[in-house]
Structure 1
Amino acid sequence: MTRRVVITGIGVRTPGGDGTKAFWKLLTSGRTATRRLSFFDPSRYRSQVAAEADFDPVHEGLSPLEIRRMDRASQFAVVCARDAISDSGLQFETFDPGRVGVSLGSAVAAATSLEQEYLVLSDSGRNWLVDHASLSPHMFDYLAPSAMPAEVAWTVAAEGPVTMVSNGCTSGIDSVGHACQVIREGSADVMLAGASDTPITPIVVASFDAIKATTDRNDDPEHASRPFDRTRNGFVLAEGAAMFVLEDHEHARRRGAHIYAEITGYAARCNAYHMTGLKPDGREMAEAIRAALDESRIDPTDIDYINAHGSGTKQNDRHETAAYKRSLGAHAYRAPVSSIKSMVGHSLGAIGSIEIAACALAIENGVIPPTANLHEADPECDLDYVPRTAREKRLRSVLTVGSGFGGFQSAMVLRQAGGARA
């Protein structure tokens, strides 16, 4: 019999809120956390809008040594992991460390610290030759993405499988999907899984400027992220993290754990087509959705809500709309859809895990977060996108999807806890 995987702990840090409760309050209120970029002078950039988190590592309980050693993205991951552990009620010190693992996702890892170090050593790029003696002693940790899951593993002395997943913007779904597979195959009983990204740096902003993927609606930052709206013109870069305690269902049941949701299906595909382009028919995303539904052993008509990738770029919104129609058939017109990127922006590899958190909380509370700033849908985006106001609805099965540069397409199904499976 296949082991079942459930979510028993959640930790979130996003723009507009400090912790999971604040995150959920933001989503259900339909408020946006997008604003003019403040981390550095954005005046020379095409896109000057961002969704920044008001994150204070001292307030979050990190020691001076941890703050010095860890990149901002690692700090987010560790703080969220600690929250998820506390939320789960699991006493890790009494647990076999060989049965605990970590699966962490990130698109750009320690980009913040790498760029800061370069700017210091090169005098903001003025010097070609730099003094290596002035290099941070923690430079290896910034250079090697594996330092991030290692930091999370140290929080609970995890000695089981520890993995870094970096698949661009699907990293946050793929890392959780990998963790589920580790538990199902019996290599671990508990996994700390999720993703973290803090990409609001000059080089990342410039990179997306170059391909005009981000919005230039700089005069109205609060309403700049407009997934599925006819007037959308790109995504809003963001930062954030979400971490989960995942457990074998029987293990969680025996200890009387609170279960947010069960993860019943996951699949990933690639279009093998173009680094940034998407085929308009949505075929590869549709195939990932169908495979996730098959693993869940449910029919497309069982999907009560779709948490969209919904980045706010025209090609993505049309691509995934086509994918829903292709995979769900007529039910695509009946299933409510929304994009939380309209409120918390697009935190690259982290957003997939943040969206999983939103799905688990939507199931828990029977509320569908809205798509903020959606006033006039693109005629090609003709589904039920839940505009501006949250909607109450009992949710038993929820689909969440991710799409990333390189052609990565991922899908995951979460179900209400307590339901029997064949």
Structure 2
Amino acid sequence: MSLVAAFLDGERHSITVHGQSGSSDNRPLDGDTIFEIGSITKVFTALVFADMVLRGELAPDDPAAKYLPAGIRMPDFEGAPITLMDLATYTSGLPRMPSNFAPKDWSNPYIDYTAERLYDYLSNHKLGHKPGKHYEYANLGFGLLGHILERRAGKSYEELVVSRICAPLGMEDTRIALSSSMQQRLARGHSAALAPVGNWDFSVLAGAGAFRSTANDLMKFLRMCMNPADGPVAAALKMTLSERRPSAEERDVALGWFVWSRFGDELIWKSGGTGGYATFIGYSTKTRRNCILLSNAADYDPNIALGMHLINAAYPLAKIRREVPVDPAVLATYAGRYEVSPTLILTVRSDGGRLFIQATAQPEFEVYAESEAEFFCRVVDAQISFARPEGGGVPSLTLHQNGNDLSGKLLL
């Protein structure tokens, strides 16, 4: 695996590399090595949205339904519509992923999710929360926002981002479609278990995570973020940070960005992850410390923890978890479907000495034992605890993620 780390100090920047690119010619890593940046794309989507608002092409409070084809019914909550600002701030009330997200190939899961499937989902979905009031991470929401922006502008989503962000900032290596030069410089993606994997391609949900970039290009972007001068991109950036909505204690979301206020500091940041890459960009508004991390291994949460720690050392590094062997017969007793909520079912499957978990509309991941009843995931920072009533009986589980402990009972 490889890691490229970049830091900005005034007008100077430094780049540190570790590992190998894994490309066909195993070219050395540098600031021009290409990585999938995943959900950092959401910041670009938010910036294009803000730019279109400032140009008068749409309004923040416009209902999302206004920009969809006639006959498509956007869900609402007791008459309250989902607005474009709700989509941009992770508060639309829509779930993280649509329930009809069922890829033919989980190694490239977004490519066959089309506009037709998106419209079908929206027309039949019922909101469980009032728009603007409930935070939930939003691959669906930002994919929908990017689709709306391209419909309004009459250009593809990639053309919008390139013309309104990349071209003004000189970011020539930030694209969805790879040129031959970019293809040659692409780091090979790897799973969290360091197995080589393919790249991801997007259809209608491109606004959620389709872009690729380099440390040098993202440094140009970070320089603008830390010292926004006059101009359309800087004005759009200021708008993306002007609206804050709560996601948790000491944690807010802006438009696309996360804003954490801890340890006497304020960090503006965003991470990204695809099947073979983990990325991070962030900076402190007080100390001006900053960091870009690009990895070609899908070890998402340790990468985020490292990025936060490099900006502010008070943020701890990720805990190192050690795998222990467990009797396959014990693992087999945990198999089944567990209801965490009406919209979240965890399906547990045992296979010899291995255990796998799949959440609703998500790919299946292997989990690893820390003890006979405690397991951890390497793809996301999540842990699972299994429990049985005294004397045996039907097991239950607890999902530990994002500071929350969510219980689930086995469905019989």
Q: TM-score, normalised by structure 1?
A: 0.27
Q: Which has the larger radius of gyration?
A: 2
Q: TM-score, normalised by structure 2?
A: 0.27
Which structure's relative contact order is higher, taking Cα pairs within 8 Å and 6+ residues apart? Answer: 1
Between Structure 1 and Structure 2, which shows a larger proportion of strand residues?
2
